Amino acid sequence: MYYLSWKALAVLAGGLALLALPTIGSAAPKTPNVVVIFCDDLGWGDLGCFGNPTIRTPHLDRMAAEGQKWTQFYVAAPVCTPSRAGLLTGRLPIRNGMTSDKRVVLFPNSGGGLPPEEVTLAELLKQKDYATGIFGKWHLGHLPQFLPTSQGFDTYFGIPYSNDMDRIGGPNYMGEVRKNPDFYPNFADYNVPLLRDEKVIERPADQNTITRRYTEEAVKFIRANKDRPFFVYLPHSMPHIPLFASEESRGKSKRGLYGDVIEEIDGSVGQVLATLRELDLEKNTLVVFTSDNGPWLSFETHGGSAGPLRAGKGTTFEGGQRVPTIFWWPETIEPGVVSELGSTLDMMATFAALTGAALPQDRKLDTYDLSPVLLGKGASPRKEMYYWTRASLHAVRSGPWKLHVKMREPVNYGRATKMEKPELYNVEHDISEAYNVASLHPEIVERLLAMIQDHEADIEPHEDMLAIPLKK
């Protein structure tokens, strides 16, 4: 794992923050705008440009053709809260308490959240006087001290946790889907609040229109800040269940309601990119599209697809943590398909390199600078990936080799799978993790076990922030 050494930190402290990072080419503006679009439970196989045969995603397909499609890109964890913590801090969730063996994610009765001392992408870019806004799902703490406006964001419009929480009535969602794949829920059955900054402005949130409203707010923010650098974080609530789509989008996709939801998100992406083009900002704006984890398979037709990848959400198989990812920045990013390793953890170092912001100096980071790949100047510095979930290391990848030491059940990920011994897969030759080759490569198994031992010895777990109860 890559960390900033004390020598590199000393360089940063001396004002040469980028000396230890690859030089950015002259084609990259010093203060590009940054937009991160983050879906919820979108699978690797849910987009046309990633091989889906029935879901139409023309805007994302064009974005991928004009930019870079990353096919081996990973999230920090296979469930919502820790994944978002990894994206925003560049640190494995075990380091900031955003993973737990007691609770999988934060709930409305949780008293914890992302620790205030963590440095978020918004706070990083504040060094360069960026306007910062989040429009969508937060899920890093719903109490005032944990809300986005306390974590570097100027403004917030969205829901504080998952859209299936605070359920107050209605039928069992999974049961209804299994009886009727076309089942459409009632948003009033979920007493989820919609916030503007720290104030609840609607409860229950009308989730039929929520994708559209997130998009409208993001576009409004871009227009208001077109003359200064801005950071837009657009974490959609969808396609996390319960699924909702606007009236205009329903019944349009061959893939049913799930397809309607994805096609509406595609339209949202198109609206954001069209706004950037209209304002002549596209050549000075980096847009990243990805997902927080893989598809929620237990919800059958209301869940997505991991394509050829094994399993989905909640697991450390490829289908749980490898996500569809696109980088777009016309006339700056080198277009093409990238098969090198990258992670949402790497946004911290990448954005620092592209903007000249200084990385945090007082903590260990798990972030790499991907700008050499984006700008066509070099290879990805990420050569390994550590797969954590439930405060426990489950697997490691080094080059093409992936070693599992723990597993979750593929669909019911609440249950652990019994393992006789570690399992080894070549996930470039065997993308579906179908053939365990541990017996053929004992020397690779030993090397990866040693990597796990070294990595775990380096971890200093933070207090479990997910397990803190809400005080009445």
Enumerate the domain spans of the chain. Answer: 30-382, 386-458
User: Across all residues in the chain, what is the average pLDDT?
Assistant: 94
The stretches of 183-256 forming alpha helices (DSSP H) are 210-224
Tell me what pLDDT residue 15 has.
40
Is there a cis peptide before residue 335, judged by omega within 30 degrees of 0?
A: no
Predicted local confidence at residue 27, as pLDDT: 52
Catalytic residue positions, numbered? 80, 139
pLDDT tens sequence for the chain (472 residues)? 434 433 333 334 334 333 333 333 345 567 899 999 999 999 999 999 999 999 999 999 999 999 999 999 999 999 999 999 999 999 999 999 999 999 999 999 999 999 999 999 999 999 999 999 999 999 999 999 999 999 999 999 999 999 999 999 899 999 999 999 999 999 999 999 999 999 999 999 999 999 999 999 999 999 999 999 999 999 999 999 999 999 999 999 999 999 999 999 999 999 999 999 999 999 999 999 999 999 999 999 999 999 999 999 999 999 999 999 999 999 999 899 999 999 999 999 999 999 999 999 999 999 999 999 999 999 999 999 999 999 999 999 999 999 999 999 999 999 999 999 999 999 999 999 999 999 999 999 999 999 999 999 999 999 999 999 998 7
* Collapsed DSSP state (helix, strand, coil) of residue 355: helix
Please provide the CATH number assigned to the domain covering 30-382: 3.40.720.10
Q: What is the per-residue pLDDT for 296?
A: 98
Are 30-382 and 386-458 equal in CATH topology? no
| ω into 242 cis (within 30 of 0) | yes
> d(Cα 76, Cα 54) in Å, to the nearest integer?
29
CA 369 to chain centre: 17
Percent of the chain scoring above 70 in pLDDT: 94
Domain 386-458: give its CATH code. Answer: 3.30.1120.10
Q: Is 309 exposed, middle or buried (0-12, 13-18, 19+ CB in 10 A)?
A: buried
pTM: 0.93
